[in-house]
């Protein structure tokens, strides 16, 4: 007999309802709902909510924050919120910088720090050591703010195997099948450290802490062109975990060869390198080249304008195909594309209009406002969401 689904036990009902209550409190974070409001919102009885909230408060996930005084009749409720004394550390390794952030359960970024670091070509061990120093800063910040760190999320610009903590391939770091030990960054954290893809984390950050709708494609223009697909408020990673690889969609069958071995991939037209080259920006650091490009654009320099226009045109083709294939109705531009948005967006829109008229509303092509913190928030948020979705498991092994 081949089976997979677990049988339903009576206790599963409580698991689910603990999550439901926690989620309800999380969604209404600003309102600090009372037990009675949670009961109304979830459809559970007051009795059940009381019992569930008691468990959540005891575990430290939820705190009571004083009484209501809204001038209404009746006994005032106890406001509930996700504990601001429990946090998760978001971390990011990128090609030219490292970053950490401390996010409390309510989603507030309580501390963050970024350092420049030329990571391309460095061994994972060296990079992890540098990142460890940043993580220590986050731990110190947590201690002084009285925050217990539950876990961490580490985003890298490449394809990862979350289960086994392996970076399968991060071409822009020149990493190939590298075993990491992210747990070492936060040794005492009961939930450990979760490895994730940078574009996917940024997409999730946009979903949870930005203004991404329930369904959208996040497009990250970094050195490569990555993407994160959000469907029904969930990250879609595909059966093998590598969905959203927008950069290697074929946008011109007679286009140039790509580093992936293919031909005419989007990345050969809209990757950072391709844009800089077409715009005739000389070699240099990424930050410097970006400055030069923006200056050239501002000065109406024809090569620069043309480079960005072409990138936008091919990005539009890729988006048209993606939207058709996956029925995507909104797109959020991030990374390099957010920086270039003023010049890029018109080209993308006119390309969309040419290749898939009427498919995407112009208003549904938006630009991320979170910038780098989006990735940190998303990386940490994945751990926070895991707790919200399975508080029961967390309560069992609770850390005091």
Partner DNA sequence: CCCATATAGTTCAGATTGAAAACTAATTGG
Partner DNA sequence: CCAATTAGTTTTCAATCTGAACTATATGGG
* Cα angle, residue 30 at apex, residues 28 and 35 outer, rounded to 5°: 50
Helices 35-42 and 10-27 meet at what angle, rounded to 10?
110
Query: Can residue 12 be called a binding residue for a copy of itself (CB under 8 A)?
Result: yes
Query: How far, CA to CA in Å, does 165 sit from each of 121, 156, 168, 183?
Result: 19, 11, 9, 9
Q: Out of DNA, a copy of itself, none, which partner does residue 50 contact, by CB within 5 to 8 A per kind?
A: DNA
Q: Out of a copy of itself, DNA, none, which partner does residue 132 contact, by CB within 5 to 8 A per kind?
A: none
Q: Which is nearer to DNA, 66 or 232 (CB)?
A: 66
Query: Can residue 358 be called a binding residue for a copy of itself (CB under 8 A)?
Result: yes
Q: What distance in Å separates the CA atoms of residue 94 and residue 143, rounded to the nearest whole number?
A: 27
Q: What distance in Å separates the CA atoms of residue 208 and residue 195, rounded to the nearest whole number?
A: 18
Question: Could you give the dihedral angle defined by the CA atoms of residues 129, 134, 140 and 146, in that order, rounded to the nearest 10 degrees?
Answer: -120
Query: Can residue 356 be called a binding residue for a copy of itself (CB under 8 A)?
Result: yes
Query: Can residue 52 be called a binding residue for DNA (CB under 7 A)?
Result: yes
CB of 148: closest distance to DNA in angstroms? 24
Q: Out of a copy of itself, DNA, none, which partner does residue 75 contact, by CB within 5 to 8 A per kind?
A: DNA
| Binding piece for DNA, criterion CB under 7 A, among 42-50, 92-100, 161-169, 223-231 | 42-50
Q: Is 65 left (phi over 0), alpha (psi -120 to 50) or beta?
A: beta
Query: Can residue 30 be called a binding residue for a copy of itself (CB under 8 A)?
Result: no
Query: Can residue 66 be called a binding residue for DNA (CB under 7 A)?
Result: no
Q: What distance in Å separates the CA atoms of residue 100 and residue 130, rounded to the nearest whole number?
A: 11
Q: Out of DNA, a copy of itself, none, which partner does residue 260 contact, by CB within 5 to 8 A per kind?
A: a copy of itself
Q: Out of a copy of itself, DNA, none, which partner does residue 238 contact, by CB within 5 to 8 A per kind?
A: a copy of itself
CB of 161: closest distance to a copy of itself in angstroms? 14
Query: Can residue 239 be called a binding residue for a copy of itself (CB under 8 A)?
Result: yes
55-74: contacts with a copy of itself (CB under 8 A): none
Query: Can residue 115 be called a binding residue for a copy of itself (CB under 8 A)?
Result: no
Query: Can residue 31 be called a binding residue for DNA (CB under 7 A)?
Result: no
Site for a copy of itself (CB under 8 A): which residue of 54, 136, 238, 361?
Answer: 238
Site for a copy of itself (CB under 8 A): which residue of 77, 107, 192, 241?
Answer: 241
Q: Out of DNA, a copy of itself, none, which partner does residue 72 contact, by CB within 5 to 8 A per kind?
A: DNA
Query: Can residue 69 be called a binding residue for DNA (CB under 7 A)?
Result: yes
312-331: contacts with a copy of itself (CB under 8 A): 313-314, 317-318, 320-322, 324-329
Site for DNA (CB under 7 A): which residue of 7, 261, 282, 358?
Answer: 7
Q: What distance in Å separates the CA atoms of residue 120 and residue 171, rounded to the nearest whole number?
A: 9
Query: Can residue 13 be called a binding residue for a copy of itself (CB under 8 A)?
Result: yes
Query: Can residue 282 be called a binding residue for DNA (CB under 7 A)?
Result: no
Q: What distance in Å separates the CA atoms of residue 101 and residue 111, rounded to the nearest whole number?
A: 5
Query: Can residue 357 be called a binding residue for DNA (CB under 7 A)?
Result: no
Q: Which is nearer to DNA, 77 or 192 (CB)?
A: 77
Q: Which is nearer to DNA, 90 or 391 (CB)?
A: 391
| Binding piece for DNA, criterion CB under 7 A, among 63-71, 165-173, 182-190, 288-296 | 63-71
Residues that bind DNA (CB under 7 A): 7-11, 13-14, 17, 34-37, 43-48, 50-54, 67, 69, 71-78
């Amino acid at each position: 007999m081949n089976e997979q689904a677990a049988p339903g036990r009576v206790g599963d009902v409580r698991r689910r309802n603990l999550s439901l209550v926690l989620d309800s409190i999380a969604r209404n974070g600003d309102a600090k709902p009372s037990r009675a409001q949670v009961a109304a919102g979830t459809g559970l009885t007051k009795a059940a909510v009381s019992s569930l909230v008691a468990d959540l408060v005891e575990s430290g996930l939820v705190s009571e924050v004083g009484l209501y005084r809204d001038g209404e009749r009746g006994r005032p409720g106890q406001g509930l919120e996700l504990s601001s004394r429990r946090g998760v550390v978001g971390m990011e390794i990128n090609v030219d910088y490292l970053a950490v952030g401390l996010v409390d359960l309510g989603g507030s970024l309580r501390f963050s720090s970024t350092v420049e670091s030329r990571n391309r070509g460095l061994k994972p061990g060296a990079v992890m050591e540098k990142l460890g120093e940043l993580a220590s800063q986050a731990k110190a910040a947590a201690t002084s703010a009285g925050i217990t760190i539950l876990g961490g999320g580490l985003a890298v610009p490449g394809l990862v195997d979350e289960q086994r903590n392996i970076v399968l391939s991060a071409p822009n770091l020149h990493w190939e099948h590298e075993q990491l030990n992210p747990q070492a960054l936060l040794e005492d954290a009961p939930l450990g450290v979760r490895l994730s893809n940078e574009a996917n984390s940024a997409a999730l950050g946009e979903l949870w802490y930005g203004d991404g709708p329930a369904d959208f494609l996040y497009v990250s223009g970094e050195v490569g062109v990555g993407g994160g697909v959000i469907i029904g408020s969930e990250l879609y990673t595909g059966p093998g975990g590598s969905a959203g690889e927008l950069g290697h969609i074929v946008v011109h069958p007679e286009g140039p060869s790509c580093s992936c071995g293919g031909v005419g991939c989007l990345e050969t037209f809209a990757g950072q390198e391709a844009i800089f080259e077409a715009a005739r920006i000389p070699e240099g650091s990424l930050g410097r080249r970006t400055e030069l490009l923006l200056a050239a654009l501002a000065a109406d320099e024809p090569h620069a304008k043309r480079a960005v226009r072409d990138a936008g045109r091919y990005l539009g083709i890729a988006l048209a195909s993606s939207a058709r294939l996956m029925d995507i109705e909104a797109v959020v531009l991030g990374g390099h594309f957010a920086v270039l948005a003023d010049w890029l967006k018109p080209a993308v829109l006119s390309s969309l209009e040419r290749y898939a008229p009427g498919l995407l509303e112009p208003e549904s092509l938006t630009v991320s406002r979170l910038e780098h913190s989006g990735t940190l928030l998303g990386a940490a948020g994945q751990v926070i969401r895991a707790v919200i979705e399975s508080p029961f498991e967390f309560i069992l092994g609770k850390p005091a």
